[in-house]
């Protein structure tokens, strides 16, 4: 997003465009889906042919290849890229207007070299002054004190999902499926949901929600790479049934938490600064990557840049920034509602699976008592089902233009987030010592390793104590 914004600023006629990049190289191998407008943009920049992307169709490419291609276009357009640096302070200059509508016309940004080994910024050595600061630093913006100084605050949903990805090869023949294979595919549905399989030039990328995992399952997989790799290899085997091997290397398979946060405003009320991409909203990967969700913001930024360039030196930029906030703020609210729905739906699936497996729980590990334990599960299922329905209702109302997104968000959506958070805390308490997925993982792994043999004996649910 930052590279695209810089290129667009040059095209709009801004004479000096600078990117501050903390990373020394682009190495991210995760793969976003590139939908229509983004593919069209890449074709316009001459990037589709370079990456083997077919125009007018949904395509895929690794972030590393995308960023590398965009970097070359940015340099060609005249963008100055400073690598291995971070902003350490922002200072407003030329305060204009009357209270409460005062706004700085420019902002001074102090820059420091980043010590990647010790994770600290070295003493400030340089500063630049900007008429517009575009913040596209990803989800870390929510914890950045400079972003807070600029006036940006965030709403955070504590309820989480667990997801995983794996990179695997393309070679190998298909293996005929058997009735036993179909049964094991059904078992997968208790573990995974919302899978996405993308193909790049040299591998495939599998992304999925692990809806059948409790926190204990997640901790187990996160700290046991061999167990995680075995699980993901089993899933790949069950989904594709061929010689599909997960690639070597620690970054070829990962499990991670999905956290949702949304900026309350995407344009500062005091400084000439705006948020873009994951800095404005961290989306649920099951509903789209930050590149996809942030493209609406990029389109709003295009309009903002063109309009700012037309301003005379005496004209206030406040109304233009307010228009950006209205357009992009509505988009982030809609995306946040979709992501919230997905989180609630996946937790509903987890609880449904827990209810289906409840008879495997030894009562001696259940301080609530068996009946109360089941009743609590039922209540939580109802809470998450209610949340799904309300979130969908608000989303439909906003997208149809029947409700103002700002009031719908602050008056309704945040109340639902509070209920989701409360239910999630209860869910974690209820399952803190339970590895719900262990039995399923064991069954699937054993069958995958001994394909064609009889199904392994069912093992009891594992309780950690």
What pLDDT band is residue 128 in, cutting at 50, 70 and 90? very high
119 backbone φψ class: left, alpha, beta (φ>0; ψ -120 to 50):
left
Alpha-helix runs per DSSP H in 189-289 = 215-223, 225-240
> pLDDT tens digits for 49-78?
777 776 655 567 777 888 888 898 999 999
What is the percent of the chain with per-residue pLDDT over 70, rounded to a whole number?
A: 82
> pLDDT tens digits for 225-242?
888 888 888 788 777 766
Give 158-258's CATH code, choosing from 3.30.1360, 3.30.70, 3.40.50, 3.40.390: 3.30.70
Please determine, for residue 178, whether its predicted confidence score (pLDDT) is greater than 70.
Answer: no
Please determine, for residue 464, whether its predicted confidence score (pLDDT) is greater than 60.
Answer: no
452 versus 275: which is more confidently predicted?
Answer: 275
202 versus 191: which is more confidently predicted?
Answer: 191
pLDDT at 230: 83
Please determine, for residue 367, whether its predicted confidence score (pLDDT) is greater than 60.
Answer: no
> pLDDT tens digits for 3-28?
999 999 999 999 899 999 998 887 77
Pairing outcome for strands 59-60 and 80-83: unpaired
Mean pLDDT of the chain: 84
Please list the residues that pair with 108 across neighbouring strands.
Answer: 91, 129
Give 2-153+264-315's CATH code, choosing from 3.50.50.60, 3.40.50.300, 1.10.600.10, 3.40.50.740: 3.50.50.60
Any idea where the domains of the chain sit in the sequence? 2-153+264-315, 158-258, 337-435
Q: Residue 256's Cα: distance from chain center in Å?
A: 11
User: What Rg do the C-alpha atoms of the chain give, in angstroms?
Assistant: 25
Q: What does the block give as tokens for 44?
A: 């316009």
pLDDT at 287: 67
Alpha-helix runs per DSSP H in 13-159 = 36-44, 48-51, 63-77, 145-149
Among the listed ranges 70-74, 98-102, 344-348, which one has the minimum average pLDDT value?
A: 98-102
What pLDDT band is residue 425 in, cutting at 50, 70 and 90? very high
> pLDDT tens digits for 295-321?
888 999 999 999 998 876 655 688 899
Q: What does the block give as tokens for 399?
A: 């997208």
CA distance 457 to 446: 10
> pLDDT tens digits for 133-160?
999 998 899 999 999 999 999 999 999 9
CA distance 103 to 105: 6
Q: Please, are residues 377 and 358 in contact by the beta-carbon 8 Å criterion?
A: yes
CA distance 29 to 187: 30
């Amino acid at each position: 997003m930052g590279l695209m914004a810089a290129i667009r600023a040059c095209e709009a006629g801004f004479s000096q465009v600078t990117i501050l990049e903390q990373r020394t190289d682009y190495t991210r191998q995760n793969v976003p889906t590139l939908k229509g407008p983004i593919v069209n943009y890449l074709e316009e920049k001459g990037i589709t042919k370079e990456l083997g992307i077919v125009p007018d169709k949904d395509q895929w490419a690794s972030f590393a290849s995308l960023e590398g291609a965009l970097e070359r276009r940015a340099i060609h357009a005249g963008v100055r890229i400073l690598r291995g640096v971070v902003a350490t302070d922002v200072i407003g200059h030329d305060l204009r207007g009357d209270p409460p509508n005062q706004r700085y016309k420019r902002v001074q940004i102090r820059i420091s070299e980043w010590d990647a080994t010790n994770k600290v910024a070295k003493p400030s050595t340089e500063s630049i002054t900007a008429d517009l600061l575009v913040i596209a630093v990803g989800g870390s913006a929510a914890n950045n004190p400079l972003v807070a100084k600029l006036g940006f605050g965030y709403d955070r949903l504590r309820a989480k999902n667990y997801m995983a990805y794996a990179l695997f090869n393309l070679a190998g023949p298909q293996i005929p499926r058997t009735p036993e294979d179909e049964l094991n595919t059904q078992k997968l549905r208790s573990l995974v949901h919302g899978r996405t399989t993308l193909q790049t030039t040299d591998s495939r990328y599998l992304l999925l929600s692990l809806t059948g995992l409790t926190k204990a399952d997640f901790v187990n997989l996160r700290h046991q790479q061999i167990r995680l790799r075995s699980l993901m290899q089993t899933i790949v085997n069950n989904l594709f049934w061929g010689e599909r091997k997960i690639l070597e290397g620690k970054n070829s398979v990962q499990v991670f938490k999905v956290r949702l946060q949304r900026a309350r405003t995407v344009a500062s009320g005091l400084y000439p600064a705006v948020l873009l991409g994951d800095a404005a909203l961290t989306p649920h990967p099951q509903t789209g990557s930050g590149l996809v969700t942030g493209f609406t913001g990029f389109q709003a930024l295009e309009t903002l840049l063109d309009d700012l360039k037309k301003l005379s030196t005496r004209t206030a930029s406040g109304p233009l920034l307010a228009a950006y906030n209205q357009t992009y703020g509505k988009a982030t609210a809609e995306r946040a509602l979709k992501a919230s729905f997905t989180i609630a739906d996946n937790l509903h699936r987890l609880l449904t699976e827990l209810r289906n497996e409840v008879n495997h729980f030894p009562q001696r590990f259940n301080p609530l008592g068996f009946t109360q334990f089941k009743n609590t599960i039922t209540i939580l299922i109802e809470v998450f089902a209610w949340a799904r329905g309300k979130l969908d209702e608000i989303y439909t109302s906003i997208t149809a233009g029947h409700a103002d997104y700002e009031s719908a968000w602050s008056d309704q959506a945040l109340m639902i987030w509070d209920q989701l958070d409360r239910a999630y805390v209860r869910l974690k308490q209820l399952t803190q010592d339970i590895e719900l997925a262990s039995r399923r993982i064991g069954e699937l792994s054993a069958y995958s390793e001994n394909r064609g043999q009889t199904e392994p004996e069912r093992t009891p649910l594992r309780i950690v104590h």
